[in-house]
Amino acid sequence: MSREEQERPTGPLGAASTPSTQQLAALADALAGIARQHGFARNAVHAMWESLRRGQGHMAHFDHAEFGGSGQWLRGGMIVVGDIFNDALALRVGALCDELSQLLAAHPEWAVEPPRRLSVHWWPAGLSTPASSGAQNGIRYAWFPEQRRLAVERDGEVTLYDTDDHRIGGVAQQQGGAGPLCFTSQHGPIDLATLRRVENPD
């Protein structure tokens, strides 16, 4: 056993308390494949994975537009989605949760929360180097002038926005996180809600 392995903190089952970069890459690949298989966006599947991880693979409380809004899944067949009359969506979300639960059971070393320091490039692939980035009150952002895109991460979910001709210089969120999330630009403060949401690049 190497010195690094000997000094690495371990959890109650002897698994490393933080996943390695190789484990994070393997997890990302697995979730991308599951997203393609079930026809959901990668950020939606990542959000569901986080919900399942917090529920130790037995349950998930989620709130995502692709899953019909807020809902709940319990291992054993119970599934509730916000779009209560959409049985087809409920079946798809249930099948997704079943597979993610099985993935978590097969890889318990992935059950711990990935440290933010290991996910330096947290924004979607296909974007260039950000001209400005930062974090405040648990929210991360990065602005990409070449693609005119603003990436915002909240609760593990990344959303992209079209910044048009705005040059984003920083976040202008009110103290304590109250009120709308705003950014500074050459035109003054700009409310995030006024920017058009766009799909993540592949």
**pTM for the model:** 0.51
pLDDT at 135 over 80: no
CA 1 vs CA 4, 15, 107, 117, 199: distances in Å: 8, 14, 21, 25, 45
In the numeric block, the tokens 């903190």 are attached to: 9
Span 50-102, pLDDT tens digits: 889 888 888 988 888 889 888 899 988 899 988 888 999 999 999 999 999 99
Span 10-34, pLDDT tens digits: 443 334 445 677 778 888 889 999 9
Residue 38: the pLDDT is 94
- Which comes out higher in pLDDT, residue 117 or 193? 193
Residue 11: the pLDDT is 40
